Structure 1
Amino acid sequence: MVSAVIAVVEDEASLRRDMVEYLRGCGFDAMGAKTGRELNDILAAKPVSVAILDVNLPGEDGFTIAARLRETPGIGVIMVTARGTTVDRVVGLEIGADAYMVKPVEMRELEAQVKSLLRRLESAPAHAPAATAPPAADEEHWTLHSTDWSLTSPGGVRVSLTSTEMKLASLLAAQARQPVSRDQISLALYNRRWDPQDRTIDTVVRRLRNKLEKAIGETPPLKSEHGVGYVFSAPVRTV
């Protein structure tokens, strides 16, 4: 029997090592990564069944990674983090996590969550559609590059992004054509609830929109959704 591949994304080396070793002892093919970029390498090399994600990671955070992984059918997501407020739990589950565990985690409970999630994935219909359909082959799309933090337009113009812009772009790309609330954006970018009196989110979005417009010479598909938040109305591929 082929062992299920489990990716553990945790920047704390000792905890990452402990989880990987424990899961290997349970018979899983467990692999560790400390960033979203290292997770991408694992995803390119092996068919990951479950990704275990910390939230506070360097670069791309766990919420953003979870939203991105939701595009790939058949990969389960378990959040394991010190951020245990009700808001954090709700946002994690809404973005795409299948389970949310608060540190310190009992290893036997983690094992039980992984096994339970694998059973659910195995029993899911094989023809179930992905949450976000990939763009058609002949449809113009944008490309988000997670390795060097850049976004390429359908016309081939590549725009470098800051860390904050990359987090925002990743979140919007994972839910392309679907509105993302200001509350989700605020939690993913700043680890705080959105305050209607705070214009920080709108400022970040406006700067990104202006940067893209200046680079490509036309209005980018980054639009506001009245009363909700923002949406990237064009298809996006993350590589």
Structure 2
Amino acid sequence: MSSRDPTNPPRIALVEDDLALRDGILMPGLRGYGFDCVALGSAAELDAAMDGGAFDIVILDVGLPDTNGFDLAQRLRRASRVGIVMLTGRNGSADRIRGLNDGADAYLAKPVDLGELAATLHSLLRRLRPEPSPGGGWRLDANGWCLVSPGDRRVALNEAERKVLALLMATPGAVVSRDDMAAALTGDIYDFDPHRLEVMVHRLRAKIADRSGEALPLRAVRGSGYVMLA
């Protein structure tokens, strides 16, 4: 495992030889959730990349052109403390058990929800490089890509959610105008659909309640904007 500063983006090796899935869906999705993600297509490419620098987590497919993910997971586990997440279309219980026994920290089946994958990565990172927990109310974690509830539940955030919450949580108890929130999301607020902000806030509240079991104390202020209650 890397000993990098926890405020730096977590470095992820994505080992997947399906280019459409890797480069068209997983890579942009993971980068949108704040990960420094490197695309690799084989075990040999992973070996070369690991010689050039450390990764926090390796995401492995089982079906690789030069080996299978189970054998690679075993080798990685013997040689390092890197986090290992297996992401594969082989979702039978025997395969899942084999993957976990061979050294994987988590085993996810394709197709995977990007939010679930991001949450799995953040959960694993928390175990690999724990942060001191100050307790108390709602807060963003050290790198700002997870919202932490008072009950210490973590919700992975995408880039837009992160920007809006960082703005709101910087001044708890103060109203943040809709224009300021829109400016955090776009370079041209005059071309920004205000309805987009309302929909985003509605979905964000629902997502946080569903994944943390707690209600975010975010309130709309008619005619003005939103306030995060202290």
Q: Secondary structure at the match of 1:123?
A: coil
Alignment partners' CA distance in 2, 1:20 and 1:31 = 8
Residue matched to 2:107? 100
Residue 120 (str. 1) matches residue 119 (str. 2): no
Matches within 5 A, 1:1-239: 1-17=7-23, 18-123=25-130
Question: TM-score, structure 1 length as denominator?
Answer: 0.50
Q: CA deviation at 1:74?
A: 2.9
- Counterpart-to-counterpart distance in 1, 2:17 and 2:121: 20
Distance 1:16 1:29 in 2: 14
Aligned counterparts of 2:45 and 2:86: Cα–Cα separation in 1: 17
Q: Percent identity?
A: 42
Q: 1:25 offset after TM fit, Å?
A: 1.6
* Inter-partner Cα distance in structure 1 for 2:17 and 2:9: 24
Structure of greater relative contact order (alpha carbons < 8 Å, 6+ residues apart): 1
1:109-142 C-alpha deviation (Å, 9 max, x unpaired): 0000000000011139xxxxxxxxxxxxxxxxxx
| Paired AA for residue 78 in structure 1 | V
Runs of 4 or more above 6 Å deviation: none
1:6 aligned counterpart, secondary structure: strand
Alignment RMSD (CA, Å)? 1.4
CA contact (8 A) 1:5 1:46 kept: no
Aligned equivalents of 1:4, 1:72: Cα separation in 2? 20
Q: Any stretches of 5+ residues in structure 2 without a counterpart?
A: 1-6, 132-230
**Are 1:16 and 1:32, in contact at CA under 8 Å, matched by a contact in 2?**
yes
- 1:11 maps to a residue whose letter is D
Alpha-carbon displacement from aligned partner over 1:25-54 (angstroms, at most 9, x marks no partner): 222110011100011121111210100000
Aligned-partner Cα distance in 2 for 1:115–1:42: 22
Output the CA distance in 2 between the equivalents of 1:54 and 1:115.
Answer: 19
CA distance in 2, matches of 1:60, 1:22: 26
Q: Residues of 2 paired with 1:96 and 1:7: CA distance?
A: 16
Larger Rg: 2
In 2: Cα distance, 1:45 partner to 1:73 partner: 15
